[in-house]
Structure 1
């Protein structure tokens, strides 16, 4: 079974980034994948200082172990000032090649303005740098305040179809690249 870990780089209550990650997780689960979401709002992670020893922060090792045991990842970020959030970047910086190399990764960005690819391109560079595999399908949700119903459902059928294609690609490519069923 394909095991995917999702991480959202937003700490905001009622976060659209968290909503988008949950939609992706539901689509993956419908395809038979096992999905675990790391909610960074509930974890105690320090700012990365470039070192390896974070023994005062057990959630760093928990993060590393959870990602190490996954076949693939979903990285979801709000776009702040034209790039990834500091929250997602810090979480990634607390890990290394040991955890991230070889992971098949799907990318999602969420922003209040017009959709673009800046944060997605940033994440693609980061994942490539640590020898991960980014699937070609990606999701950028512009004007996120109008993308979801009050219940957290997607309002746009084309966007919903993109989530289906995203999930299908992540599962298929994870099976191929990681050799899992």
Structure 2
């Protein structure tokens, strides 16, 4: 079985990034994948200081272990000032090649304004640097305040189809690149 871990880089209580992560994980689970969703809002993570050990922060080990055990990852970030959020960057910085190298990633960004690929491109650079593989399908959710209904579901059928295609590609490419079924 293909195993994924997902994180969203937003700390807001009513986070659209968290909603997008829930939808992505549901689509993967519907296709038979196992998904662990870590909520960075509930983990006690320090700012990365470049060190390897964080003995006062057991959630660093929890984060690292979840990524180490996964075949692939889903990363969702709000776009802040044209790039990824500090929250997701810090979580990635707390990990190393041991947790990220050779993994397959699927990327989603959430924007308040018009669609663009700035945060997605920055995530691609980060993952390439740690020798991870990123699928070509990506999702940029523009004007997020209009994309989700009060129930957390997507309002646009075409965007919903993109999530289906994203999930299918993430599973297929992970199976190929990680040699898992």
TM-score by length of 1: 0.99
For 2:78, the equivalent position in structure 1 comes to 78
Partner SS, residue 115 of structure 1: coil
Q: Which runs of 4+ in 1 moved over 6 A?
A: none
For 2:16, the equivalent position in structure 1 comes to 16
Number of aligned residue pairs = 181
* In 1: Cα distance, 2:67 partner to 2:139 partner: 21
5+ residue gaps in structure 2?
Answer: none
Q: For 1:15-68, what per-residue CA distance to the aligned partner results, in whole angstroms no more than 9, with x for missing partners? A: 000000100001000100001101000000000001111011010011101100
Partner SS, residue 88 of structure 2: helix
Q: CA deviation at 1:84?
A: 0.1
Q: CA RMSD in A?
A: 0.4
Q: For 1:123-173, what per-residue CA distance to the aligned partner results, in whole angstroms no more than 9, with x for missing partners? A: 000000000000000000000000011000101011000000000000000
TM-score by length of 2: 0.99
For 2:132, the equivalent position in structure 1 comes to 132
Partner SS, residue 7 of structure 1: strand
5+ residue gaps in structure 1?
Answer: none
* In 2: Cα distance, 1:108 partner to 1:79 partner: 10
For 2:143, the equivalent position in structure 1 comes to 143
For 1:100, the equivalent position in structure 2 comes to 100
